[in-house]
Amino acid sequence: MKEFDLIKHYFSEQIVKRKDVILGIGDDCALLAPAEHQLIAVTTDTLVAGVHFPVNTSPKAIGHKAIAVNLSDLAAMGAEPTWISLALTLPEVDEQWLSEFCAGIFELCEFYNVQLIGGDTTQGPLSITVTAQGLAPKDKFITRSNAKAGDWLYVTGELGDAALALKNLQGKVDLVEADKGKVFEQLDYPKPRVLAGQALRDYATSAIDISDGLISDLGHICKASKVGAKLNLENIPISTVMRETLGRDKAIALALSGGDDYELLFSVSEDNKVGMATALSNMGIPTTCIGQLNGTEKITTVLDGEAITLNAHGFEHFAKSEA
């Protein structure tokens, strides 16, 4: 199957047909007509086999994750996801692999009413690059740079399960079969907090999605907003599987540095705490307060009331490995 046959067969037919897509797949560019008084949020992520997903990951999970990680970025800005483009590099044309890969892509796109509008296909080592675009009101979007000293820090969901699954794959942690399903679901099929992000437009002073690890991503907010943070480590939400497998302290350490959570970390002023908690509770989205921002421009950590030295750090491409 040649390139243009592949595109026509696997990517041109999709359920989502948005009215703001004037021209989609099939021309040199897509043409889009965003609504008035809306800003377009744009994000791009690349997933490389063996780096962002294990080489034996199912193609459906790869397709899902390629979309999910981009929608998670849009969620952190409070944007409504609308369009994606896909650049796919394949070692060869495997029709069964492509069918399952597309199923993972289009299942998530259909759920969030996102249309694939173009992209590219090439031959080479497996990698997937997705550019996702979304819409946010001109006067209501979230950035990393508007947090203030005194704001409270929250996270959605639980942290660390995806990192635990990866450690199991690497042979570093043993898991009973009953626990594998839960943690591998988090690694292979992360759920972007799209609706939470849109709700937080009314309450959050800053937000970021947790992709490289809580401590690393909190550092991005602190740097952008020129604030510091005090983290109460015992409040970090970890699953029963994490706690029973690693023990509390090691589970907390992994939740701080593991990454691949795709939950939201956000700050809320004292005045907006109740409104935020009510709004997200009504949507069935769990949130946990894990600390407070301050003016020190440093991150400090407390466990059971005692200050501790933190050695955890998040994932960073091109960082030198430590001995």
Q: CB under 8 Å to 194, separation ≥6 — which residues?
A: 71, 74, 75, 80, 81, 112
Closest CA to 214 of 280, 301, 279: 301
Partners of residue 232 on adjacent β-strands: 302
Q: Of 113, 137, 161, which one is at a domain's C-terminal end?
A: 137
| The model's pTM | 0.90
d(CA 320, CA 163): 20
CA-based max dimension of the chain: 63
One domain, residues 11 and 44? yes
Q: pLDDT digit string (tens) for 201-260?
A: 999 999 999 999 999 999 999 999 999 999 999 999 999 999 999 999 999 999 999 989
Within-domain flag for 46: yes
One domain, residues 106 and 214? no
Q: Of 80, 109, 137, which one is at a domain's C-terminal end?
A: 137
pLDDT at 27: 79
Q: What is the token pair recorded at 58?
A: 């199912």
Average pLDDT, the chain: 91
Q: pLDDT digit string (tens) for 57-111?
A: 999 999 999 999 999 999 999 999 999 999 999 999 888 999 999 999 999 999 9
Within-domain flag for 236: yes
One domain, residues 49 and 94? yes
Place of tokens 């983290």: 231
Residue 292, domain extent: 152-308
Mean pLDDT, residues 5-34 taken together: 80
Within-domain flag for 173: yes
One domain, residues 163 and 299? yes
One domain, residues 18 and 130? yes
One domain, residues 204 and 250? yes
pLDDT at 2: 62
One domain, residues 97 and 236? no
One domain, residues 233 and 108? no
Within-domain flag for 88: yes
Q: What's the structural domain count of the chain?
A: 2
Within-domain flag for 78: yes
Q: 265 vs 26, 55, 134, 308, 309, CA distance in Å?
A: 38, 29, 20, 22, 22
Q: Which alpha helices (H) appear in the chain, and where do they start and end?
A: 3-6, 59-76, 95-112, 161-169, 177-188, 194-200, 214-225, 240-246, 248-257, 273-282
Within-domain flag for 241: yes
Task: Decide: residue 116, CB within 10 A, 0-12 exposed, 13-18 middle, 19+ buried.
Answer: buried
One domain, residues 121 and 178? no
Whether the CB-CB separation of 112 and 105 falls below 8 Å is answered with no
Q: What is the CATH number of the domain that holds 16?
A: 3.30.1330.10
Partners of residue 43 on adjacent β-strands: 132
Dihedral, CA atoms, 65, 107, 44, 135, nearest 10 degrees? -130
Within-domain flag for 187: yes
Q: What is the CATH number of the domain that holds 245?
A: 3.90.650.10
User: Are β-strands 228-232 and 299-303 bridged in parallel, bridged antiparallel, or unpaired?
Assistant: parallel
One domain, residues 283 and 160? yes
Whether the CB-CB separation of 124 and 89 falls below 8 Å is answered with yes
pLDDT at 311: 67
The residue type found at 11 is F
d(CA 80, CA 58): 28
One domain, residues 157 and 125? no
CA 81 to chain centre: 13
Within-domain flag for 145: no
Q: Of 137, 161, 189, which one is at a domain's C-terminal end?
A: 137
One domain, residues 304 and 161? yes
